[in-house]
Structure 1
Amino acid sequence: MRFPKITSLYGRIFAIFWFTMFLVLMAVLSLQHFDPRKVTDIPQPHYDRLVSARDQVQTYFSDQTDINSIVAELYRSSMNLDHRSDRRGENDVEVFITDQDGTLITAHEKRYSNVKALKNFVTNIDDADTPKQRLYGKFMFAGPLPIHLANKQYLFYLSVKWNRPPSFLIQLFDHPFQLLLATMIVSTPLLLWLAWALSQPARRLQRAAQRVAKGEFATDPELEKGTSEFRQAGASFNQMVEAVNQMILRQQRLLSDISHELRSPLTRLGMANSLAQRKQGVSPELTRIETETQRLEAMISNLLDLSRMQVDSHNKREIQPLQSLWETLLQDTQYEAEQVGKQLSFSDIPNRSLSCYPPLLMSALENIVRNAIYYGHSRIEVSMKEVGDQISVRVEDDGEGVPEDELEAIFRPFYRVSTARDSHSGGTGLGLSITESAIRQHSGSIRAGKSELGGLLLEVQLPLLPKS
């Protein structure tokens, strides 16, 4: 008979729980059969010795007819039954003779040390035709066997001192806490295996979610294995990743189409403006048209670059040391700052790595530093330091800065600061928006504040890979 495969999470928990409880119950029920203090069948070697002892007694007293004399002599003599005496004078072996009703044949019951135990043993035997054994304290009682003495049929019992130390099972029965501990030891491996089996798909799902949080939108077939609940969750997760990828690709395609459609009339507008300047000469109005046309062209180019980098950042991640990402960039910008009479200083770059799309992350820092060079009066500072498992990058300048009520708004697309900082820049208002998007795609954050130098402070935090 084949049992159906259990694929449900709750089904597995239910099945393993009850299987564990079944094993524990079976162990508890079966242990009692190994308790020597219960009436049990006599093992064959012990049964053979019991029969041999009975035969010795029966042969030795075969010619006597007085049962009381036989019992008295049997008490005084060891009958070669491995008789030994302990320090307290107790016999290691005692022989008991009873009638068919179980009444002990003796004139001096007080001579026997285990009469009460014998009487209890006799009353616990259901079938006198089947010999049994039971432990009472330090003595193992066995019997009965039919024995012919003094021309009558009696029953033969034997009591042997049990010299073995208390067994592990007896200790369990005498100490419930130890029984509970043994049960826990048996069930713990099963429960640990259950916890491991249930946590495996959950950990896979957690790792996949962490990859998505870092901007890595890749499906994982391993998520669709395991119990039905986790398979469904994994399939839904992969479908979500596929949907995000398709959405990004559609966005890229839409921006490309819009760019193509906008660039055609812009090109024609530029050509018409050039022809007008040749015929009519240069005028303020034609110059303004040319300027706005170039600005529109720059906006479209920036939007396309932003969209392209977003797509590539999802699909082209790699591990890069911080030095290879930013050291050359900072050296180049330091030289450029000197050419315009400004001073740019930067701290040592930590020897750590991160998972990124290098062009996008390099462009983000380059945009911040070049803005600082452009708007700073004479001094720009770039500092980097490790904060736990993150890298903190601070770029400060001594320029005019940004009003506090506009610090959060400068990351919005096409936002223009209302002060002189941006009134003559000629920019499109997309630079910091592209930077903020790049940082966010790498699971980082960026904030703007007031620099101690007097200008703008931009602080970027990015997650680092664990130290190897």
Structure 2
Amino acid sequence: MNRLFRRFAVLVTLSISVAAVIAYFAMSWLFGDPQESIARRQAAGQIFLLEQYVDQAPADEWLGRLNKVREVSEVRFDLLPLAAARQHLPAGSRAAFERGEVVIDVRNKAFLRRVDLSGDRYIGSNEEAIHAQDLPIDVGLALKMEAVRYLIVALVVLVPIAVWSRAHWRSLQKLAQMADEFGQGQLAARVHLPASEAIHPLAERFNNMADRIERLLDAQSSLLHSVSHEIRTPIARLEFALELLRDAAQSPALEERIAAMEGDLHELNQLVSELLGMIRMGDQPLKRERFNLAETLRSVADSLPPAAPALDVLVADNVDSYRGDRRLLLRAVCNLMRNAQKYAATRVALSAARRLDGVRIVVEDDGPGIPEAEREKIFDPFYRLDRSRDRSTGGFGLGLSIARKAIELHGGAISVDSSPMGGARFTIRLPID
């Protein structure tokens, strides 16, 4: 947000600067060089003295009056041959000089003008020019005054823009804060701005959107919660009925069928438990506490059921304490480990290390791996990569979804790619607490 307004301020400043440059060149093109105009105004007294006093002298008294001016003026007046005078002139001013006009030499603080065009002042006056030097010209000061003028204009423009931008910046900051809080799971977060604020309609739309999302999520959570609890009742009844039926069963075939039905009920009970776990994960705040992450990861490896794949655990020495919800992190890593055990051929590896940007936990195996096109889909609830498997081997498709949700609640991320071992590699990145 700050970057947005900094860029806006820089853009406005550059626009004013470019406008000043364009105005300078436009004025030069339309009305002549502003520096020459400034110098002509500053030398106006000497030009007036030459034109209204010296040039108004009767015939053959022109030189006398010029000498009197030389005596009292600090400006140096010299007579030059036309050839020498032309050498002082830039190419663009020669035509005006030949017409008898005063030509200002800003850089040398001087001006040139032909004495006359017909030789009436004195003999040979049409072959000479008057060169006035040491004129009281200070274009630098005038340019500084122009710069100050532009600066004042810029400030007058920028100050209201800054005040206006600050008000909008504060409003947008509130809107961004509300979006961050809402994204972190605080569904009751709203932004309240006065109706006079320019972005008040946008804030109201954000609030309305948040209201609708909150209602939808609440309705979804309530529905899943209610359905899961309601399912528990018929499951309990069926379990009780099956127990009675088992007691009354006489044939082995009937007992085998009852056992299969009990397995289905157990599976359904597990599914309901998983659903309730997902719902509670989103409803309850994280119970952040400081715990030893290395010991927790080793306990995950120890708690796994014995399986054919060998298990390698490599936890770096710098993985020690971490502040978070130990139960959720334990479950996330455990789900990944069970998934790796399920598909590994001979080996599963768990490693962890602390880096500059946080803690990195890696679970990998030497199984068949996961196709690149399906690496994001496997984190969706109820999505199973191999649909030919039944739930006894393929699971419900909730384990990876629960793992991702648990990691995201900690502000981290989980990703999957190919492992050097040949199978899949799941990488958990947790921010530094």
Which residue of 2 is the match for residue 297 of structure 1?
269
Q: Which residue of 1 aligns with 2:66?
A: 110
User: Pick from 287, 301, 318: which aligns with 1:334?
Assistant: 301
Q: Retained in 2: the 8 A contact 1:252–1:308?
A: no
Provide the secondary structure at the position in 2 that maps to 1:228.
coil
Between the aligned partners of 1:302 and 1:421, the Cα distance in structure 2 is: 19
TM-score by length of 2: 0.57
Judged with a 3 Å threshold, the aligned counterparts in structure 2 of structure 1 residues 434 and 318 are, in CA distance, closer, same or farther, namely closer
Conserved? CA contact 1:384–1:392, under 8 Å = yes
**Kept in 2: contact 1:346–1:382 (CA 8 A):** yes
Distance 1:110 1:388 in 2: 85
Ranges in structure 2 where 5+ consecutive residues have no aligned partner: 1-8, 25-37, 43-51, 74-108, 111-133
Could you report, residue by residue, the CA deviation over 1:76-117 in whole angstroms, capped at 9, with x for unpaired residues? xxxxxxxxxxxxxxxxxxxxxx9xxxx99x996334428999
Instruction: Kindly tell me the number of residue pairs found equivalent between the two proteins.
Output: 343
Matches within 5 A, 1:6-405: 109-113=65-69, 166=138, 169-172=141-144, 179-180=146-147, 183-184=150-151, 187=154, 191=158, 194=161, 196-197=165-166, 198-217=168-187, 219-221=189-191, 224=193, 228-281=197-250, 283-312=255-284, 316=285, 324=291, 326-336=293-303, 342-348=310-316, 359-373=327-341, 376=344, 379-384=347-352, 389=357, 392-398=360-366, 400-402=367-369, 404=371
Q: CA RMSD in A?
A: 5.7
Structure 2 distance, partners of 1:233, 1:463, is 34
Contact conserved, 2:382 with 2:396, CA < 8 A, in 1? yes
How big is each residue's C-alpha offset from its partner over 1:170-226, in whole Å with a ceiling of 9 and x where there is no partner?
Answer: 3436xxxxx34762476258537735524443444445444544545452536x369
Displacement of 1:277 in angstroms is 1.4
Change (3 A) 1:190 1:403: closer
Shift of residue 296, structure 1, vs aligned partner: 0.9
Change (3 A) 1:349 1:235: farther
Bigger drift between 356-365 and 241-250 goes to 356-365
Q: Is the partner of 2:69 in helix, strand or coil? A: coil
Alpha-carbon deviations, 1:122-154, whole Å to 9, x = none? xxxxxxxxxxxxxxx99xxxxxxxxxxxxxxxx
Secondary structure at the counterpart of residue 189 of structure 2: coil
Q: Could you tell me how far apart the structure 1 residues matched to 2:223 and 2:426 are?
A: 33
Q: Which residue of 1 aligns with 2:396?
A: 428
Query: Per chain length, whose mean CA-contact separation is higher, i.e. which structure has more relative contact order (CA < 8 Å, sep 6+)?
Result: 1
From the superposition, tell whether residues 420 and 208 of structure 1 become closer, same or farther in structure 2 (CA, over 3 Å).
same
Structure 1 gaps, min length 5: 1-12, 29-34, 40-97, 118-136, 139-161, 174-178
Structure with bigger gyration radius: 1
Cα deviations by residue, 1:402-452 (Å, 9 ceiling, x for unpaired)? 564895454343345549987754843321232234445666554444433
Partner of 1:283, secondary structure, is helix
1:219 aligns to what SS in structure 2? coil
Given that residues 213 and 443 in structure 1 are in contact (C-alpha distance below 8 angstroms), is that contact kept between their aligned partners in structure 2? no
SS of corresponding position for 1:345: strand
SS at match of 2:421: coil
Q: Does the C-alpha gap of structure 1 residues 166 and 412 become closer, same or farther in structure 2, counting only changes over 3 Å?
A: closer
- 3-state DSSP class of the match of 2:199? helix
Shift of 1:302: 0.7
Q: Who is 2:84 aligned against?
A: none
Structure 1 Cα separation of the partners of residues 208 and 325 of structure 2: 24
Percent identical pairs in the alignment equals 22
